């Protein structure tokens, strides 16, 4: 049932650390645009040990939660069901509280990635490269399962990480080949490069950007642009940012939590850009 403007409801983002999160800015901007004047969206610093206790205190006024690291897997035992998308990567970033009391876990990162790429004209690619092998890399693989028709090469730092990525490939039915991080410059020639590494990790690759790069999806949004994204853009390549991902996954969260669709994508993006500029 769609939410009414008079419904006083609560939502929040949980994680640790959490002070940097832009989610409150995005969700509140959506509530304002949708006329949900009695809705609130907060942030709470919660770790894995504190998550069960937080859930125990939630009352009927709660509409949903956004989960960031390190809670995306820790939350799974605390929900009543999870979507196929969330189950595919063992990661829940969204919990919606249904009217019947059920807690439903979902993952909006994966369709958010697909939507962000689509917005930049990327509907399908023949091959792709992933830089990194953490939790975001598995979500990237799941997104590529929907749009990539050929091989995905993952550039990683250890054989253990390489084995994990190959296992994710088998699970997601994606053709994955792994390569050593020392050869990561080769990734930059792919039709689509998804950088999933922490800030600073890809800086050394900026000098190796080819003359005519294709598309780079860098999941970071702060600091922005990364050195790799800046050089990529200067060379004429298309760049999809972490803010693009953040906004698109938040749009899906707002729609699920409020029952209102479509969520105001452009309003949410402008709010995020303004908040980042103020930092």
Q: Which residues are catalytic?
A: 72
Residue 208 parent element (H or E): none
C-alpha distances in Å from residue 22, one per residue of 42, 44, 136, 153, 225? 11, 13, 18, 31, 17
Give the other-Cβ count within 10 Å of 38's Cβ: 15
Tokens of 140: 């990237």
DSSP label of 124: -
Bridge-based pairing state of the strands 94-97 and 103-106: antiparallel
Q: Give burial (CB, 10 Å; 0-12/13-18/19+) of 31.
A: buried
Bridge-based pairing state of the strands 81-82 and 103-106: parallel
Say if CB 247 and CB 111 are below 8 A apart: no
- Please state the length of the chain: 279
Given phi > 0 = left and psi -120 to 50 = alpha, else beta, which region is 81?
A: beta
d(CA 161, CA 271): 36
Residue 272 CA from chain centroid, whole number: 15
Give the three-class secondary structure for 66.
strand
The C-alpha angle with vertex 154 and arms to 204 and 239, in degrees rounded to 5, equals 60
Sequence-distant (≥ 6) Cβ neighbours of residue 262 within 8 angstroms: 251, 255
């Amino acid at each position: 049932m769609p939410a009414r403007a008079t419904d006083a409801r609560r939502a929040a983002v949980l994680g640790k650390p959490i002070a940097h999160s832009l989610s409150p800015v995005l969700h509140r901007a959506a509530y304002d645009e949708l006329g949900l004047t009695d809705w609130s969206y907060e942030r709470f610093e919660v770790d894995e040990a504190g998550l069960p206790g937080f859930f125990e205190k939630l009352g009927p006024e709660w509409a949903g939660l956004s989960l960031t690291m390190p809670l995306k897997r820790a939350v799974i035992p605390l929900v009543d069901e999870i979507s196929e998308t969330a189950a595919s990567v063992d990661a829940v970033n969204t919990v919606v509280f249904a009217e019947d009391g059920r807690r439903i876990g979902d993952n909006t990162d994966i369709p958010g990635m697909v939507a962000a790429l689509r917005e930049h004209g990327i509907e399908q690619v023949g091959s792709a490269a992933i830089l990194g092998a953490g939790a975001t890399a598995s979500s990237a693989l799941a997104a590529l399962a929907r749009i990539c028709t050929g091989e995905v090469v993952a550039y990683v730092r250890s054989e253990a990480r390489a084995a994990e990525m190959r296992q994710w490939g088998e699970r997601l039915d994606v053709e994955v080949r792994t390569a050593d991080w020392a050869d990561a410059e080769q990734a930059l020639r792919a039709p689509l490069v998804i950088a999933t590494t922490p800030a600073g990790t890809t800086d050394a690759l900026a000098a190796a950007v080819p003359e005519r790069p294709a598309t780079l999806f860098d999941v970071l949004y702060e600091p922005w642009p990364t050195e790799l994204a800046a050089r990529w853009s200067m060379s004429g390549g298309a760049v999809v940012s972490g803010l693009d991902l953040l906004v698109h996954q938040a749009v899906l969260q707002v729609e699920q939590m409020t029952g209102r669709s479509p969520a105001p994508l452009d309003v949410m993006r402008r709010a995020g850009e303004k908040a980042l500029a103020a930092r």
